[in-house]
Each structure stands twice: as C-alpha cells, then as structure tokens.
Structure 1
Amino acid sequence: MENKNDRYQKHLTLQDRYDIEEGLNHAYSLTRVAEMVSKDKTTISKEIRKRRVGDNLRLGNYNDCKNRYQCPIQHLCEECDRTKNCSACKKVDCRSICNEYHSEACRYTRRAPYVCNGCSMIYDCRRPHFYYRANVAHTTYVEQLKNSREGIALSRQQLYELDCLITPLIRQGQSIAHIYATHKAEIPCSMKTIYNYIDQGIFTARNIDLPKKVKYKARKKKRQEPEVDYAYRKGRTYQDFQTYISEHLDVNVVELDTVHGSNKKGNVILTMLFRNSNLMIIFLMKECTQECVKQVFNMMTQSLGIEEFQKCFPIILTDNGSEFKDPERLEKAETGEQRTKVFFCDPLASWQKGKLEKNHEYIRKVLPKGKSLEGYTQEEMTTLANHINSTARASLNGRTPYELAQILNSPKLLEMLQLQAVEPDKVVLKPQLLERKK
C-alpha cells in the first residue's frame, strides 16, 4: 500500500506549479495552496521566493524612493543652481545619481505570499512587482536540475579508490555485474555509472578489457538536429531590450512581424505597429526573405530621409523568423549610417510583442487563414491598413489609432504611406473589403 507521505517527497511537477500559480491568482493563503498540491507550506514558500520574477520596468518616471516625501537632498547635479529638493526635479531622475536611493518595497512581497499575483491593488500600485509564473518557474527548475546532474559526482579520492577496486578485478576476467554484486557496499555509484566512467576513460580499465562490450556493435545515435546559430541575438535579446527601455523611458517601440497566406512561397505581408498609438502599417512583399525586408526598410529610408526614419523607428522588436536574422542589414542604411536598433523576443514567446499579435486579428477578419495572398497589390494593403487604423478601440478610450498617430507619430510618415482616416460608418473588416476591388 502506498504511503500517503510518499508524494510529499517528490519534486514539484509542472501541474503542481500551475496549481500554485492558480492559488496565488485567487489570493489563497500559502497553507491552502500547500494543501492543493499536497506539499508542506515551507516548500511552497521556498518555491515562490526562489522562482518569482520581477517586473521593475513598469515604474517609468514614478519616484519610488521611500524617502521621497521628506528627502532634503539638493544639488546632486554639479551645475544645478535650483533651490528646490532633487526629489522634485523633473529634468533629472534623482534615483539614478543619488546614493541614498532605496526602493520602497511592498509589504506583500516582503512576506507571504511574496508575489503580486492575487493583489487587488495591482493596477494602482507603482511599487516593483513580483509574479509567480508556472512556465518560467518550471523551465528554470529543469535547467537547474540538468546542470546539477552533469559532470562527475565523485571526488578525486573516491575515483582513485574505486579504480583500485574495479580495474584489477576486471583484468581477472570478472564482469561489472559480478563486481557490483559482491562489492555493492563499497561502490558509491550505480553500475551504469561505472560503465560510463570506463567509456569516458576515467578508470585505468578500458572498454577493450570488457570482453562482451567489444563484441557489441555500436548503437546508432539519434539524428542530431542542426545547431541553431544564435549569434545574431547577441546584444539584442529581450532582456537587452528591457534594459535599453529602462534607460530610455521615452523612446517609441515599433513591433515587427510577418503574416503568411496559404502558400509559404509567394506573397507575404510585413506588418509594423507603433506601441504609442497602436498604428499599424502593412507592406506586401513578394517573398519572405531578408532581402525583401531590407528593401522595405531602404524604401522608407529614401522616402523619409535618414533623420526622419531614426525618429520614427528608433527601436524595433521582432521575433526570430529567418527573414529577420540579419539585423545589421536592417539597422544600417545603404550609406552605412545607423538608422534603428533591432531587438528579438525570446524563442516561442510571441506574447512579448503582444500588441502586434493582437492586431493581426483585424487582418484575419479580411484575409482569413488559408487564403492566398497572390494577386493583391500594395494599394489594397494600404486600404486594409486604413480601415484597421480607423477602428475605434476601447483600450484607447474610444479613439482610433489614426487619431492618436496624428498626435504622436510623424505627419511625414502618414503622408508617405498614404494613410488616411475612414469614416466610422464606412469601416469594413470583412473579406468583402478587398474582394469587391478585385
């Protein structure tokens, strides 16, 4: 009969972590969460504190120093002649230059539950946030477990003593199974590990000393998948993007992606979305290649001018599609001048550019999945973009992306791309929008 306490001795599974996240999202106590996953409360507490992730980038310009209301410090800047306190200065963020800066931590993250998952004040709170995410926690756990099991677990002295025991017996003709059965108490590892050590050349004995092993044919190895070269991501990862954004709080981010039709070879749509206004622009490309993407960038650079392009597209965030894996060709103009900076989302993490992914739903209303993109023109893609950008959004307080773009984005960009407003009652987001023009 299974002991009820056996399950308490096992490692947390991915399902256990999902249960923990679900419990935290409902603001359950750690005791109740521990009961849900049949673990001790201290295990849950350690798991949350060890694997929680921070979200400190949301603070923006908000001064979260715990001394901000009574701070008397003045003249942190060498040439500053102002009489007011540095905490009230709007020209320079005093947190970046003050040695007395201490972030005001929330009492709910200093003690149980240690995270903000189920906090009712999450949207009004400006303190640093911490979250428990099951997928992230389990990925970290698996990686740590894998690293802990690599290499040789025995010390040099233990290996020497084991070699002195095993090698003479092997050379007497004894099998590993016989040696292990008769000296099990003296051998600090499994029989499989002994075979591995001999195969790796760690012991004096070699494979040639094992009569049966040299008779066996070498097992066929599983086909190795080609290694992916991630050199293009160096200095351009999502973590690098977050660091850059935290240092340049006012910079506008443009999300970049492609939308395919039924045929992967042929016309493809290149989409860009400006985070500040939700304005989406659409380009039709003949192929989904690095060269075609570069041609779009070069066309806009020539039409806008290098300085205007730098203002419109300072930062670009995209995924790891093959068409974007030569970022230097996108970052530099034909003259060699830097025109933008490209960053990449983490693999299989398209939610990191979620605004653009969400906006693709509007494209799919007109061009459903499985529909070929052959036969369409750039003029029709511009028409599609105009209807999408003229759709009022609840997330924009009833405004349209085009209305915000007139305030937040370059008028020259709107004119160059022939973007214009569509009357509210004439907005069409059905396949008929483009079908009636064909």
Structure 2
Amino acid sequence: MPFKPPYVCNGCENRPTCHLEKHVYHARKAQTTYEATLVRSRVGINLTPQELDELNSMISPLIKKGQPLSHIFAVHADDIPVCRRTLYNYLDQRVFDARNIDLHRRVRYKKRRAKHSVSRDITQRYRNKRTYKDFEFYMEHHPDASVVELDTVKGTRETGKCLLTLLFRSCNFMLIILLPRCSQECVINAINNLVETITLRLFRKYFEVILTDNGAEFKNPWDIEKGPDGKHRCYVFYCDPYASNQKGKLEKNHEYIRYVIPKGKSMQNFTQADMNKLASHINSTARDSLNGATPFALSKLLIDKKIPILTGQYEVSPDDILLKPELLEK
C-alpha cells in the first residue's frame, strides 16, 4: 500500500512485481458508491418521533379541511420545521393522518386537446369596439383603471341556478352572486342590485372596466354599461373566443369554488348567504401568487372597505378555513 499521495497504486511502475497490499482507484465504482451513499443519507424521516407527531397534529387537520398547502405554509411557516417539498415527500410516504387524496391539486391533469382552427366572427355587434385588443388599448391609455373579471359558474343544468362571479384584478378579491337562471336578464338585474348595494359612486370607481367572455348571458353590454336611468357606469370588454387565460385570475379562483361545489352538483338549495360564506372562506385563503397574503388582506388596501361589508363578506380565521363540500352542507 502506498504511503504518499495519491495513496493508490494506479500508474505505479513497480505494481507488477510489488508484493505489498495494493489499493486501486476505480472511478466508475467510486461514483456508484457515492450515489448510493447520497441516496441512503436522504432515506427516512429526518425528525424525532415527537417532532413528527407534533407536525402531524398541526398539518393533517388543516389539510382535511381542504386548505391548500400554500395557505398552510403562509400561516404556519414559522412552526413547520421542513420545506414544502419535504412535506410532500412525507405525504407520499404516508407518515401523516392526511393523505395525498386529501389534497385538491395532487392529481394528474388530462392531456389538453389540440386547438382546432375555428373561424371567429369578430364583427358581432355586441363586440363592436369591445374586443380584447380594444381592452388592451384602453388599459394602455388608462393604466390606473380598476379591472373586474366577470364570469358564471353553472350547476347541473344551464336553466337552473348558477353563480355570477366578479373578481377585482388588483387584489384577487371575489364576489359571488347567486342567480336564479343563467340569462342576460338575471345578470343585468344582479349588476343593478350590486350598484344599489354599494352605491353608484363606488361602482364607477372600482368597476370601471369589466372583462368577461362571450357567454350568451353577457351579450347585452349596453344594459351593463348603463343603468336603468341611462347613465354610463362602466366599460365592458370581451376576451377572445377560446382564450380563457385572458381572465386567468378568475378562472383560477373558480377552482376554489369547485372544491366546495363539484361539477354536476345542483345549486338549487343554495342561498345568497351560502355564497357569501363560500366567498368569505375563499377570500381568506392565502395565495402563493400574492406572496402569502390573502385577497381579504389586500382588499383592505386596494378597494374601499365598505365593499366587503356591504356585500356580506367577512374574514375567516386562517385555521377555520374549510374548502370542502361540508362547508355548505345543511
């Protein structure tokens, strides 16, 4: 065995005739040994049984309430001794009472179908000077304009009750209004009632621009832009067909609604009070996109404080947030 660097017999001239103990370096074998050691060092739970039990007691009840990990980490970051990636690994290893099935987003997404070429009629009267390009042009010249994204969420049948959703882009704060039917008349009545509730002054200030899709229920922009008295109150613009990403914040928020009201579930037994409760829990959920803040917290800074109060919203304590169907069960 060599007694000086590099302490191996590789390249030694006396190796064929040397009778001493020989040490030879094999690069491939060394790399394999290193990789095996690296894997072994990361196997298992790097917590004591007591620390693991405390973490389970805190995390599992919140996950079972339907709270996203983004919200849990935003609220309890100082109390969680591991990173989010490690927490997912622990869930994979089934060391908690909660399981992957309790997480809303821990699923595989279906492969998206290829978009087909569709002829788009952009000359429809209701879209005249209200296309997405017109919206971009308006925002370029009015960068401080308040934008609200508008859409509907349907139940089992399009003729039954549905939800009208309005989201303030500035803070992700969402209003949910229960409609008796998914029709132009119901949408216009709901907006007229909203104006009466929060006053025309606040509506003009915070609903200056409304961005929606091309659903049949929204194809009467004239009665949305002007009230029953004929006075102008907002501007309406439409996304391009098949481009839901143009109002992506609202589409993302609809996921939270579907946690509580799955697709195919009837909305006939719901009341407006139920929708206010649902919106309050959603608006009190912390978001990664808001750097750990909640829409409710940002709304206090970016919109008038009267709007949440007048529309029946209330802030929910972080650990009391429930985003499962049980929230609206009677």
2:127 corresponds to: 233
2:45 corresponds to: none
Please tell me whether the aligned partners of residues 197 and 311 of structure 2 are also in contact (alpha carbons under 8 angstroms): no
TM-score by length of 1: 0.48
How many residues align? The count is 216
2:220 corresponds to: 326
2:80 corresponds to: none
Please report how far the alpha carbon of residue 384 of structure 1 lies from its aligned counterpart in structure 2 after TM superposition.
0.1
2:305 corresponds to: 411
2:187 corresponds to: 293
Instruction: Give the whole-Å Cα distance in 1 for the aligned partners of 2:141 and 2:206.
Output: 19
**Which residue identity does 1:237 align to in structure 2?**
T
2:284 corresponds to: 390
Instruction: Give the whole-Å Cα distance in 2 for the aligned partners of 1:380 and 1:399.
Output: 24
**Which residue identity does 1:313 align to in structure 2?**
F
2:174 corresponds to: 280
Instruction: Give the whole-Å Cα distance in 2 for the aligned partners of 1:290 and 1:414.
Output: 25
TM alignment of 1:305-344, pairs within 5 A: 305-344=199-238
Instruction: Give the whole-Å Cα distance in 2 for the aligned partners of 1:406 and 1:302.
Output: 21
1:244 corresponds to: 138
**Which residue identity does 1:255 align to in structure 2?**
E
Cα deviation digits, residues 380-417 of structure 1 (max 9, x gap): 00000000000001111111000000110111211110
Cα deviation digits, residues 179-238 of structure 1 (max 9, x gap): xxxxxxxxxxxxxxxxxxxxxxxxxxxxxxxxxxxxxxxxxxxxxxxx897111000000
Instruction: Give the whole-Å Cα distance in 2 for the aligned partners of 1:427 and 1:271.
Output: 20
Which structure 1 residue ranges, 4+ long, deviate > 3 Å from structure 2?
none
Q: Residues 323 and 276 of structure 1: is their aligned pair in 2 closer, same or farther, counting only changes over 3 Å? A: same
2:39 corresponds to: none
Instruction: Give the whole-Å Cα distance in 1 for the aligned partners of 2:143 and 2:230.
Output: 27
Instruction: Give the whole-Å Cα distance in 2 for the aligned partners of 1:408 and 1:315.
Output: 16
Please tell me whether the aligned partners of residues 151 and 212 of structure 2 are also in contact (alpha carbons under 8 angstroms): yes
**Which residue identity does 2:129 align to in structure 1?**
G
1:64 corresponds to: none
TM alignment of 1:351-366, pairs within 5 A: 351-366=245-260
2:50 corresponds to: none
Instruction: Give the whole-Å Cα distance in 2 for the aligned partners of 1:228 and 1:390.
Output: 39
Cα deviation digits, residues 262-287 of structure 1 (max 9, x gap): 12211000001100000011000000
- Which protein, 1 or 2, shows the higher relative CO under an 8 Å CA cutoff with sep ≥ 6? 2
Please report how far the alpha carbon of residue 350 of structure 1 lies from its aligned counterpart in structure 2 after TM superposition.
0.9
TM-score by length of 2: 0.63
**Which residue identity does 1:271 align to in structure 2?**
T
Cα deviation digits, residues 42-77 of structure 1 (max 9, x gap): xxxxxxxxxxxxxxxxxxxxxxxxxxxxxxxxxxxx
Please report how far the alpha carbon of residue 334 of structure 1 lies from its aligned counterpart in structure 2 after TM superposition.
1.2
Instruction: Give the whole-Å Cα distance in 1 for the aligned partners of 2:172 and 2:226.
Output: 25
**Which residue identity does 1:282 align to in structure 2?**
I
**Which residue identity does 1:252 align to in structure 2?**
S
1:381 corresponds to: 275
Please report how far the alpha carbon of residue 320 of structure 1 lies from its aligned counterpart in structure 2 after TM superposition.
0.2
Q: Tell which structure's C-alpha radius of gyration is larger.
A: 1
Cα deviation digits, residues 274-304 of structure 1 (max 9, x gap): 0000001100000011110111111111122
Please report how far the alpha carbon of residue 255 of structure 1 lies from its aligned counterpart in structure 2 after TM superposition.
0.2
Aligned identity (percent) is 51
2:196 corresponds to: 302
Question: Matched residue of 2:176: which SS?
Answer: strand
Gaps of 5+ in 2: 1-113
Q: Residues 248 and 229 of structure 1: is their aligned pair in 2 closer, same or farther, counting only changes over 3 Å? A: closer
